[in-house]
Amino acid sequence: MELPISFKERMQRLLASEYNSFEAALAMPAPVSIRVNSIKYQANLVLQKVPWADHAYYLPERPLFTLDPLLHAGCYYVQEASSMFVEQALKQAVDLSQSLHVLDLCGAPGGKSTHLASLITEDSLLVSNEVIKSRANILAENIAKWGSGNVLVTSNDPSNFSRLPEFFDVMVVDAPCSGEGMFRKDPQAINEWSEENVKLCAQRQQRILMDVWNALKPGGVLVYSTCTWNEQENEENIAWLAEQEQAESIKLVLDPDWGVMPTQLNGVEGYRFYPHRIQGEGFFMAVLRKTGESSISQKSGKKKKYKLQLAGKKEKALVQDWLLEPDKYEWLQYGEVISAIPANLFEAADEVYQHLHVVYAGTEVAEVKGKKLKPMHTLAVSQHLNSGAFNKVELDLELALRYLRKEDISLDSSGNDWVLLKYKGVPLGFAKQIGNRVNNYFPKEWRIRMELPAELPETNILIGS
C-alpha cells in the first residue's frame, strides 16, 4: 500500500513512535463485525464482542453474507466496529429513557441509523436522512429490514432542516470526509485523497454543521464523526463550531482497554480510533451540547391542517390485526399503500412531512388491490408483525435462498391464502398460495442477484457459531 507522502508525514508527526505500528496495521486485513437485532433474534454467540457496543461481535473471517437468509430478514447488520462507538456517545450524554427526536443526517447505507433505532425507546422518533436519492432508497430498505417502525427516512439537503427549528434532541452528523480511515478497506480512497480535497471536505463539513445547528434544541446533543484522521476535518472543525455557537464539549468516559485515543483542542474533547490500537477502521468522534434558551415562541391555538392522511375505518379494520398492539398506531393511507406509525409520534411525523421529502415512514403494512389487500414485504420484516394472523411455512436454506432470488418455489401444502415464509423461525416474507401453485412476492429490487453455488454453506452466521 503506497500512502501519499504528505499524509505519511502528517501521521508521523501525530503518532510519533507509534507510526510504524500504524502503517503495519494498514497492511493487515480489515476486521469484520456485525451488530445483532436483539428484538428479532436472541443470539448467544461464542464470538469476540465489540467492547463499546452491546449485541456487537467480530467474526473470525468474512463470510458470504449474501447467502445468509437471516441478513435479509434484518436479524443483524454488517457494520464497521469503530462507528458503533456512537452507542457510548448516546448512553453517556443522553437520557435514553426519554421520548426523543433524533436525526441521523447522513444516514446511508443505514449502520448508524439501525443502531440508533436500537438505542432509543419505541416512543422516540428517528429521522434518517440521505441527500442522494439512490442511496436514500438503500437506506429505506435497510431501515425497513431492521423493522423498528418509529423511523422516517428522508432525502433532503442539510439546509432544508432549518425548516424544523429546535426540533431535535439529538443529532448525529457522520460527515462526508476525505476518507483516510478507509484506506485499508478501500484502496480507491488513497487515489482520491489530496491535501486540496481535505480542505474542501473541511469547508463542506462546516457548512453542513451550520445548516443543521438551528434544528437542534437548546440542551440538545450533537454527535459529530468522520472516518478520517486529519485535524482540519476533526478537532479544528468541532472546536470552531463550539466557539462559534458557545457549545459545551461533553467528555466521555473511556475504558483504557478499548484503545481509543482521547484528543483535545481549545477545551473541546475528541476521540480517535487507530487500527493499530483497536479492531476497527479509522474514525473520529466528538460530542457537543447546545447551550442557550429556546428562541421559539409558543404556538398559537389555531387548528393545524395535517399533511398525513388517515386510512378509512374499513381499511383499518382489515389490516389492524396484522400488527401486535394495533391500538398503539395511527393508520395512514397514501394511494394504495396503508402504513402505520406509533400514535404518539403522529404530530412530530406530520411536522416532518410538512417540511421535508419523506421516502419511507413507520411500517408499510398493506397494498389495496381493488377489494382485496396484499400484505407488504415490509410488514413481514417488521419487529411488530403479528405472525399469528397468517399461515406459516418454514423453509430450509435452499428454499429460503431461492425465495430470496425471487424464483418459483413449491411448498408441501395447498390452499388459497397468503403464507408467511420463515427461516429458522424468523419471517422472511410473503407468498400467495393458489392451490398447489405459489406466487413469490419478495420485492424484485431486493432480490439476491448472484447465482447459488452447487454446495450451499452449512454454518449460519448467527447459528452454530
Cell numbers found for residue 361: 415512514
| Residue among 106, 177, 201, 227 flagged as catalytic | 227
Burial of 143 (0-12, 13-18, 19+ CB in 10 A): buried
DSSP string covering 95-151: -TTS--EEEESS-TTSHHHHHHHHHS-TTSEEEEE-SSHHHHHHHHHHHHHHT-S-E
Query: From CA 148, how far away is CA 117, in angstroms rounded?
Result: 7
The Cα 148–Cα 363 span in angstroms is: 8
- How far is Cα 208 from Cα 229, in angstroms, rounded to an integer? 19
Residue 150 main-chain phi, psi, to 5 deg? -120, 30
Is residue 201 part of the annotated active site? The answer reads no
Residues in Cβ contact with 57 at an 8 Å cutoff, skipping those fewer than 6 apart: 33, 34, 35, 36, 45, 47, 48, 49, 50
Of the candidates 187, 135, 154, the one whose C-alpha atom is nearest the C-alpha of residue 27 is 187
Strand order in the sheet with 426-435: 391-394, 415-423, 426-435, 437-440
Angle (nearest 5°) at CA 269 between 262 and 32: 50
Q: Report helix, strand or coil for 330.
A: strand
Q: Are 117 and 147 in contact (CB under 8 A)?
A: no
Rounded to 10 deg, the angle between the 133-146 and 111-119 helix axes is 40
Distance CA 223, CA 77 (A): 21
Catalytic residues: 227
